[in-house]
Amino acid sequence: MKLHNTINGEELKEKIKSSAEPRTTISFYKYAKIGNPQVFRDHIYLHFSTIGVLGRIYVAGEGINAQISVPSEHLEAFKNHLNDITFLENVRLNFAVEDDGKSFFKLAIKVKNKIVADGLEKDIFDITSPADYLNVEDFNKLTENPDTIIVDMRNHYESEVGHFEGAWCPDVDTFREQLPVVVEELQDKKDKPVVMYCTGGIRCEKASAYMKYNGFENVYHLEGGIIKYSRDAKEQGLPNKFIGKNFVFDERLHERITDDVIAQCHQCGEAFDDHVNCKNKACNLLFIQCPACAEKYTNCCSEECQSIAALPEEEQRALRKGKDNGVRIFSKGRFKQNVTRQGW
């Protein structure tokens, strides 16, 4: 059996879109020492593919990070397999707040240097010794303290569409950029409570351990992140202090937490909070575009991309050849710079 996907991605996507099979979107992570990440990766690929698991999983010597979709009829079998893995027994599973079952269309399990890229030297601090967890009730109580500093450990394009009330949202593109920024900015505030949060907990757990390593003793992080907080607040009838949307890294892109729209269309400035990718595949810019601008620019981020997207596919492929865009995201001052650098 081949331990990787061999079917065209577009074909898989259409298959999932047309499928009526109930699926459950889940995320989980665990920091733990994995002696041979490649062997572990092949082991879980074999088992997960057998029961139809789809999604993206990273495995490294420091642990596992998974965002997946499981056929609902096989959910118990999936849980049982996790429990058979010693360090994943009773691991916390975050169930999506909004779930149409179309979050992923293929299974990709990759071995990485780290499950969360942090730009730091390996093993300089103990990632298995994070700060104390906060549940929804404790989080709400602590963040009522005016001295408490709430730090959003996500990227700017995530916090742009939703964040906790009163949170500091650093204007960064990546987690590796954010760690030194947060430590430096809070150096003179070590006497104040610091509460960190992210989407599902994995980034703020590592960040809180790094903060402890840098001498912060009064630091906490939100257990299970925004996903668990939102579900627990609703189930327990507690106030939800998150406003807007929770950005997620799958086909859904967002989960609506509240009806508040706190972002604007990047092209006209109208209140709107749906991210899209530029139709020009050579650009693929992630940005916010309202319906009026989508019509005006034919789902592109600029007139330049609009003209390229209108070309025959063969010409577009020729223009893309040899170009590597990486992850391109919109931010004031960075948008024009990115376009210029690419030559469009």
Q: How does pLDDT run across 42-56, given as a tens digit for each residue?
A: 999 999 999 999 999
pLDDT of residue 235: 97
- Structural domain of 207: 132-236
Distance CA 297, CA 291 (A): 10
107 and 139 part of one domain: no
pLDDT of residue 10: 74
Look at residue 1 and tell me if it is in a domain: no
pLDDT of residue 12: 75
Using 50 as the pLDDT threshold, list the residues of the chain that sit under it.
332-344
- pLDDT (tens digit per residue) in 294-304: 999 999 999 99
Of 198, 278, 283, 300, the catalytic one is 198
Look at residue 118 and tell me if it is in a domain: no
Boundary (domain end) residue, out of 205, 236, 267? 236
287 and 228 part of one domain: no
18 and 104 part of one domain: yes
pLDDT of residue 340: 32
Distance CA 8, CA 105 (A): 11
Other CB atoms closer than 10 Å to residue 35's CB: what's the count? 7
282 and 334 part of one domain: yes
pLDDT of residue 129: 87
Asked if residue 199 lies in contact with residue 187, where contact means CB atoms within 8 angstroms, the answer is no
Look at residue 144 and tell me if it is in a domain: yes
| 293 belongs to the catalytic site | no
- pTM higher than 0.75 for the full model? yes
- Domain count within the chain: 3
Look at residue 74 and tell me if it is in a domain: yes
